[in-house]
Structure 1
Amino acid sequence: MSDSAVSAEISGYSFEKAVAELESIVARLERGDVALDESIAIYERGELLKKHCETLLNAAESRIEKIRLDRAGKPTGVEPLDSQ
């Protein structure tokens, strides 16, 4: 499968599916029973999965809002999570 085909495949993954596959790759690499060429290939796939997860997390974080409270503790509105 070409790199662009792999990237396209991974871009369709949910966060949970990408994390599960990434965890599987890490476990295989940690066992050390994978041939060098295959280790490199799955490491590169892991990098793509990591980037995809980061993209999904950043998108989710930008959608989360923080509730603003007045002095009495009553909600007055919302603001982006990362604003201080």
Structure 2
Amino acid sequence: MRNKSYASLVGSIMYAQVCTRPDLALCIIKMGRFQSNPGMQHWIAGKKILKYLQRTKAYMLIYRRTKNLELVGYADANLGKAEDD
């Protein structure tokens, strides 16, 4: 940790998030709040995120060229409707 800056740690995770891992967006927001004065718990959180990336490196967005463009989206929401509607 002494040889690396906290900003470098956040930047490394942000690079992964921007390119292929949108699941890290909230982590980057939370970590970015402590850029000026990170504590030990922030370094530990950053290391946990790096370990998570190591374990899940097979999960990523893959962009492929296709002849027919098809957008598919999934959401786990009922748009505010009651369960019995």
Higher relative contact order (CA 8 A, sep 6+): 2
Whether TM exceeds 0.5 here: the answer is no
Larger-gyration structure (1/2): 1
Interval containing the TM-score (normalised by the shorter chain): 0.3 to 0.5
